[in-house]
Amino acid sequence: MRALVRVYDTLLYLMAFVAAATLVWLMISVVTSVVMRNLGIQPFAWLFTSAEYGLLYITMLGAPWLVREKGHVHIELVTAALPPGIRRVVSRAVALGCVAVSGILAWYGLELFLTNIDRNDYDVRAYFYPRWLLTITFPIAFTFMAIEFARFVFGRELMHSGEAGIHE
C-alpha cells in the first residue's frame, strides 16, 4: 500500500512540476511574441497555439496539487462562523460534493478522450495536434482531484480551517 501511495504522490508532484514548467514556457512564448511583434516580425503561429494549450495543461495538471495544498479558491465566511462540530460536518459534506463533481467530470472526460481517439480527431490550427493529447488531462486531473477531495472527507484534516480573515 505504501508503494502505491508513493507512486500516486510522485505522479501528483510530477503533474504539478509539468504545470509549473508550462507556466515558464507560457511566459517565454508571450514575451517572445511581443518582442517579435515590436521588431516588426510576424510571430510563429505555433507560439500562440502552444500558449493556448499550455493554459489547459497548467489548469488541469496543477489543480490536484492545489487541492492537496488547499490552494484552490474557497470561501470560509460561513464555516468560520460555525461551531467546530458543525464545521467538521459541513466541511466534510462540501468535500464529498467536490468528490462527486470531480468523479462525474472524470467520467465524462474519459468519454471525451475515448471519443477523440475513436474519431481520430485533430486540432488543426498552426499544426495538426491530436485532440486526445488535450482531453487526456480531463480524466486524469479530475480523478486525482476526486482522490484529493476524498482525503478531506475521510482524513483527519479538514478542507475548511475556520480561520477566515486571520491570515489575510
CA 138/CA 121 separation, integer angstroms: 16
Whether this model's pTM surpasses 0.85: yes
Q: Give me the pLDDT at residue 68, please.
A: 93
Interior CA angle at 74 toward 141 and 10, to 5°? 30
Cβ contact 43:32 at 8 Å: yes
Please name every residue paired with 122 in a beta bridge, in sequence order, or none if there are none. 130
Q: Could you report the per-residue pLDDT of 109-163, keeping only the tens digit for each?
A: 999 999 999 999 998 877 888 999 999 999 999 999 999 999 999 988 888 776 6
Q: Give me the pLDDT at residue 19, please.
A: 97
Q: Give me the pLDDT at residue 167, please.
A: 47
Q: In the block, which residue shows the cell 492545489?
A: 66
pLDDT band at 80 (very low <50, low <70, confident <90, very high): confident
CA 13/CA 115 separation, integer angstroms: 28
pLDDT over threshold 80, residue 165 = no
Q: Give me the pLDDT at residue 93, please.
A: 93
CA 89/CA 79 separation, integer angstroms: 10
Q: Give me the pLDDT at residue 74, please.
A: 72
pLDDT over threshold 70, residue 99 = yes
Q: Give me the pLDDT at residue 123, please.
A: 87
CA 108/CA 95 separation, integer angstroms: 20
Q: Could you report the per-residue pLDDT of 37-71, keeping only the tens digit for each?
A: 999 999 888 888 889 999 999 999 999 999 998 88
pLDDT over threshold 50, residue 92 = yes
